[in-house]
Structure 1
Amino acid sequence: MPAISVPRFSRVKQFAISEFGADCANQQKTSEAITRAIDAASDAGGGVVFVPEGIWPCTAIHLKSNVNLHLSKGAVLLFSETPEDYLPGVKTSWEGMECINYSPLIYAYECENVAITGEGTLQAKLDIWTSWYERPKAHMKAIESLYKMAAEAVPLQERDMTYEGANLRPHFIQFNRCRQVLVEGISIKNSPFWVMHPYLCKDVIVRRVKIEAHGHNNDGVDPEMTQNMLIEDCVFDQGDDAISVKAGRDSEAWKLNTPCKNIVMRNCTIKNGHHLLAIGSELSGGIENIFIENCHFENGSTANREYVEGTPDADSFGNLVYLKTNAYRGGYVRNVYVHNCSAEKIGGSVIAIETDVLYQWRELMAAYEKRFTHIQGIDLYNITVGEVSYISKIDGNELAPVNDVRLRNVDVGYVRECEIDNRHVVNFEWEYR
């Protein structure tokens, strides 16, 4: 893994939003002040946009190159719950498919040397977004139409998903096609969708960040087709996965041909979540070189199911490592290392792999090209878990078996179901501690 290029802001001017007209009692004035401060910092060749102590209501924030959004201790950026405040739509993605959608609450597109730092808090109001957690027929038809547009290579500008009823919730933070990114020290509370989404980025550091987001699809960090990334000393308290590594969906990702690789996560605590490490199911561009070290998973039990009851794989929630794909994804997964990690009571397995995860899309996908995902080289070493249902539960594909899985020095206190439940796996090794 090459050295990560770190953003630098040591010799730049500071631009306080209070000097640009921000008003704790006025959302519009605060949003306009933040925009003007970002523009001024950018025009100066770089700068720190400073958010002082206080609760500052705002709408979407669009960062620019060479800008560091810095929240002082006691500062809260409180983001509007009104979807119209995140229009016009921007170039973004939804579960591995590119589209025009509501702006992420904080958005950076094709930026370089960009950061969010400080001891303050980013907080989303959830009033409307919570009602959008539901998946009525209109919402499901919108996702189906987006899938068809992506499969047929419809131009991005024609994939506008901001129409009424589509209800595709925005990410909290998305860095889209950015380079040299830093998120450090801040706290994040609540999120409409995925919390932090580095998409097609290079050289990303997420350090000492605390996330508390218990809503639907509230993953902590979703690196997608991103390369050279470090996540360290963070605390995740999630309604979904702590980290979910992705690489695009199906034919569109095959054309982008950009793997997600060189991702390191270390010294993190997962207070609550579905999985410590999830991979997929959007992995069509390929995923490789994932290293997880010295992380502790406090609660991955079956109790953490507020938004998963009734889903086809609800019983699998709560795994230390969970990889999911299907016969239409293609791509590959290789070189995944999870070392010196621990968990308390988890609902699923130390490692779980599923290769036939289609949810409600099985009938839709039947008309599309099949491409199997090749999975090889999964290494778990020095693992301690108090209680699990399985140590290993792998359901490989008969035509593309999972290869080379090693569990070494694995110590499990109590197994509720059975230790090993594997199908279509070649070269599986398991050593007790």
Structure 2
Amino acid sequence: MKKNDCLLIIIAILLCSCSNKYSIKIDEIQVATPFEMPNIKIPDFSNCKKISIVDFGAVKGDKNKISSAIENAINKANKLGGGIVVVPEGEWLTKKIHLKSNVNLHLNKGAVLLFSENPEDYLPSVHTTWEGMECYNYSPLIYAYKCKNIAITGQGKIKAKMDIWKKWFVRSKGHKKNLKILYNLSSNNSPVEERQMVNDSAHFRPQFIQFNRCENILLEGITILNSPFWTIHPYMSKHIVIRDVNVWAKGNNNDGVDPEMSQNILIENCVFDQGDDAIAVKSGRNQDAWRLNTPTKNLVIRNCMVKNGHQLLAIGSELSGGIENVYMNNCQVVDGAKLNHLVYIKTNERRGGYVKNIYVSNIKAGRIDKGILGIDMDVLYQWRNLVPTYERKLTPIGRIYLEDIKATDVKFISKIIEQEELPVNTVVLKRIQCDTIQGNVYIKENVSN
């Protein structure tokens, strides 16, 4: 080998070494499930540089400087090929945050990211969703679009100021008018770019955190306080771990986690104190979901606690892309929590999709307002008379397994109401223990096997 050739090889090795100085490793998590599930891939930032937002000009109390510093720190971490953007102790008022690939947003203990209540701070509009329909709307407070290897970690808090958002909880005439507009655009498969839903009356509240078309995601350790809408929303994403997260959000539609058309997800060791469903598994609405054709699949929820919420585990009603392989194990609903069901599967004649392979085991609860299991084929809420059924598609539901469930006081064990032309197929209940059952133990219409 010539001397020049050796020199070129050495230079190449050095360049490669420099380029990987802050490289991200990928960890793989193996999860035991009743179904076949691939390992979940998440980013490891232990080898990455820490970048403080203070070094980029963040000054407490100055929203513009803080927002600019966070943006510039994220850009720097992204350009390095891997970086940890550090939010130090103290309260930091900010506008929207848009993550980029290979970035870990880390909140130190005592840090509070306080998100502005001004809707103008979440413009320009971004490609997002509203209740299962794609559109352009206000940016989620923390938003990642087509990113890879991203994380939000630490012992700090993220908090939404609710001054304006809580006024938008009411479904006003203007809001309902815009719901109809979006529904019709979606039903006609209009281009998403034409679905601009920011105006003076739509009041479509943004999600707090949305991972949109992302992969290799870690959300760990943080506390989330308040939310304009759904709290944590993985959408069209895959390989997601949500771990040791504490959620407190008591407004309208404040689900804890809404995995939607996403795959390979682990939610563990979390605490939910909600104004709506704790875990709400979704898969898009009607024509949009049929077009995207991406089921929610391979979801594990374990060792979680619910202090309040409508349901411990809700499936639907936006499930038109299909939902399969969901495993919830070893979760607790605290005594005194207000809860409608432990497991509630909801759909209607417009949805299509399917639900199969749902496993729930080792659950402890106190009093439940309704029952252990509810399956309802006719859940339409405000949409029943607001818009017509353009295309009728029923939802096949089957292979639902519940075992080792304990509760103190319920109205029923299970209530299953399905369409006569498409019965629910195979529901297995084993070792269900309730101290008091106020009504009929089993209520069922159109169930086979």
- TM-score higher than 0.5: yes
| Alignment-derived partner of residue 222 in structure 2 | 186
Query: What are the within-5 Å matches in structure 2 for residues 6-405 of structure 1?
Result: 6-298=42-334, 304=338, 318-363=340-385, 365-405=387-427
1:368-415, CA deviations, whole angstroms, 9 ceiling, x for partnerless residues? 111000000000010001111111011111111111001101100111
Distance 1:356 1:188 in 2: 33
1:118-142, CA deviations, whole angstroms, 9 ceiling, x for partnerless residues? 0000000000000000011110111
Distance 1:397 1:385 in 2: 29
1:186-235, CA deviations, whole angstroms, 9 ceiling, x for partnerless residues? 00000000000000000000000000000100000000000000000000
The offset of 1:300, in angstroms, is 7.6
Q: 1:224 to 1:299 in 2, by over 3 A?
A: farther
The reply to whether residue 5 of structure 1 matches residue 41 of structure 2 is yes
Distance 1:48 1:88 in 2: 26
Task: Give the stretch that moved more between structures: 167-176 or 407-416.
Answer: 407-416
> Looking at CA atoms only, which structure, 1 or 2, has the larger radius of gyration?
2
In the alignment, is the contact (CA less than 8 A) between 1:300 and 1:318 conserved in 2?
Answer: no
In the alignment, is the contact (CA less than 8 A) between 2:271 and 2:305 conserved in 1?
Answer: yes
The reply to whether residue 407 of structure 1 matches residue 438 of structure 2 is no
The offset of 1:351, in angstroms, is 0.1
In the alignment, residue 102 of structure 2 is paired with which amino acid?
N
| Alignment-derived partner of residue 308 in structure 1 | none
In the alignment, is the contact (CA less than 8 A) between 1:329 and 1:373 conserved in 2?
Answer: yes
In the alignment, residue 395 of structure 1 is paired with which amino acid?
I
In the alignment, residue 415 of structure 1 is paired with which amino acid?
I
Distance 1:250 1:81 in 2: 32
The offset of 1:366, in angstroms, is 3.7
SS in 2 for 1:345: coil
Distance 1:168 1:299 in 2: 34
Displacement over 6 Å in runs of 4+: none
Distance 1:157 1:299 in 2: 47
Q: 1:63 to 1:299 in 2, by over 3 A?
A: farther
1:96-132, CA deviations, whole angstroms, 9 ceiling, x for partnerless residues? 0000000000000000000000000000000000000
The offset of 1:363, in angstroms, is 3.9
1:166-186, CA deviations, whole angstroms, 9 ceiling, x for partnerless residues? 000000000000000000000
1:333-376, CA deviations, whole angstroms, 9 ceiling, x for partnerless residues? 00000011111111011000110112232345544111000000
Distance 1:407 1:388 in 2: 16
In the alignment, is the contact (CA less than 8 A) between 1:340 and 1:383 conserved in 2?
Answer: yes
In the alignment, is the contact (CA less than 8 A) between 1:350 and 1:390 conserved in 2?
Answer: yes
SS in 2 for 1:368: coil
Q: Percent identity?
A: 55
SS in 2 for 1:418: coil
In the alignment, is the contact (CA less than 8 A) between 1:190 and 1:214 conserved in 2?
Answer: yes
Q: 1:197 to 1:114 in 2, by over 3 A?
A: same
- Please list every run of 5 or more consecutive structure 2 residues that lacks an aligned counterpart in the other structure: 1-36
In the alignment, is the contact (CA less than 8 A) between 2:282 and 2:318 conserved in 1?
Answer: yes
| Alignment-derived partner of residue 313 in structure 1 | none
In the alignment, is the contact (CA less than 8 A) between 2:346 and 2:376 conserved in 1?
Answer: yes
Q: 1:300 to 1:105 in 2, by over 3 A?
A: farther
> TM-score when scaled to structure 2?
0.91
SS in 2 for 1:295: strand
> TM-score when scaled to structure 1?
0.94
Distance 2:210 2:163 in 1: 21
SS in 2 for 1:294: strand
Q: 1:365 to 1:327 in 2, by over 3 A?
A: farther
1:51-80, CA deviations, whole angstroms, 9 ceiling, x for partnerless residues? 000000001000000000000000000000
In the alignment, is the contact (CA less than 8 A) between 2:350 and 2:389 conserved in 1?
Answer: no
SS in 1 for 2:182: helix
In the alignment, residue 373 of structure 1 is paired with which amino acid?
T
Aligned-CA RMSD value:
1.0
1:260-304, CA deviations, whole angstroms, 9 ceiling, x for partnerless residues? 000000000001111000000000000000000000112686xx4
In the alignment, residue 211 of structure 2 is paired with which amino acid?
F
Aligned length: 413
Distance 2:384 2:304 in 1: 36
Distance 2:200 2:383 in 1: 23
Distance 2:311 2:431 in 1: 21
Distance 1:232 1:409 in 2: 24
